[in-house]
Structure 1
Amino acid sequence: MPSLKLDPIDRKILAELQGDGRMTNVELSRRVGISAPPCLRRVRTLEETGLIKGYHADVNARELGFEVQVFAMVSLKSQAEVDLSAFETLARGWPLVRECHMLNGEIDFILKCASPDLSTFQTFLTEDLTAADNVASVKTSLVIRNAKDEPGVPFEILEARAAAEEE
């Protein structure tokens, strides 16, 4: 749970900005039902506490020429913290890797990769990923289509939980 106690207005602000981070403060304040100055103060507090990490454009990767998305499941030879951290540092430096998550279980990391074509991904796979220190194995799955790509968190669950706590 966040260290900052969120009230219903804060949750509404976060939900609205998650859906459209470009709206004006005036529009946001109208949507959440408070005046603009306190709305702006709340947004700044949410930013300062790290609950709002940034604002991003949702770009169309395929229209920009990134035709290939691949999930790469990586197993390491060693799971010592120094080795896990070293792999994370490598992953942050690879432009094709858009997300990197450490997992529990058989696979140590899953990488979400975006590439303009299979040839570019294959080069990355053979020259960078599988050749990296401490990589034991890599299994890849090519994305055929995307059924859902929902950013952020499901605020409706937070609202239901908050309502249940108030009862």
Structure 2
Amino acid sequence: MGFDRIDRQILGHLQADGRMTNVDLADRVGLTAPPCLRRVRALEEEGVIRGYHADLDSARMGFPITVFAMVSLRSQAETDLAAFEAHVAAIPEVRECHMLNGEIDFILKIVASDLRGFQEILTTHLTTAPNVAGVKTSLTIRTAKSVSGVPVTLE
């Protein structure tokens, strides 16, 4: 999908600050408020802007442990893949689930309150899930970069 310069500016500014008022946004992109709002609404309706949210600090929210789990399935039939995706969607601590190509079928980003909590998620929800052949995990030591969204050129 092609975006003109103003659309890219709107997207970049909203990605950086989703709480920005329409008046401030319009001022930054050189429009008056009504046409700016029409453009934002069109971008929302097209699904380019999927929503607005607060970026919470997981450690301060009681989830200082972040683990990446690499999951291999016994079968990669579409129904089995969909069943696994539905299974992990119901686990609140699983924050991301990505299907991969290659040796590993899925990588999950999991948060936990402590190592015991992670072990419980692993043993009661992941390793025992239907069609799971194996799970390899890596505990995050520190996060050097965490940026949501995508790069947006504001030109």
Give yes or no for the alignment of 1:62 onto 2:69.
no
| Corresponding position of 2:24 | 27
Asked if 1:136 is matched to 2:133, the reply is: yes
1:9-57, Cα deviation, whole Å (9 max, x unpaired): 0011001000000010001011111111100000000000100000000
TM-score (norm 1): 0.90
Partner of 2:91: 94
Choose between structure 1 and 2 for higher RCO, CA contacts under 8 A separated by at least 6 residues: 2
Structure 1 unaligned residues grouped into runs of 5+ = 160-167
Structure 1 position 9 matched with structure 2 position 20: no
What is the number of residues matched between the two proteins?
155
Per the alignment, residue 150 of structure 2 pairs with 153
Q: How far apart are 1:152 and its partner, in Å?
A: 0.3
Q: Distance in 1 between matches of 2:23 and 2:33?
A: 5
Question: Shift in Å at residue 86 of structure 1?
Answer: 0.4
Structure 2 unaligned spans of 5+: none
CA RMSD in angstroms comes to 1.0
Aligned equivalents of 1:112, 1:81: Cα separation in 2: 22
In 2, Cα distance between the equivalents of 1:14 and 1:108? Answer: 32
Pairing partner for 1:41 from 12, 18, 38 = 38
Superposition misfits of 4+ residues, deviation over 3 angstroms: none
SS at match of 1:89: helix
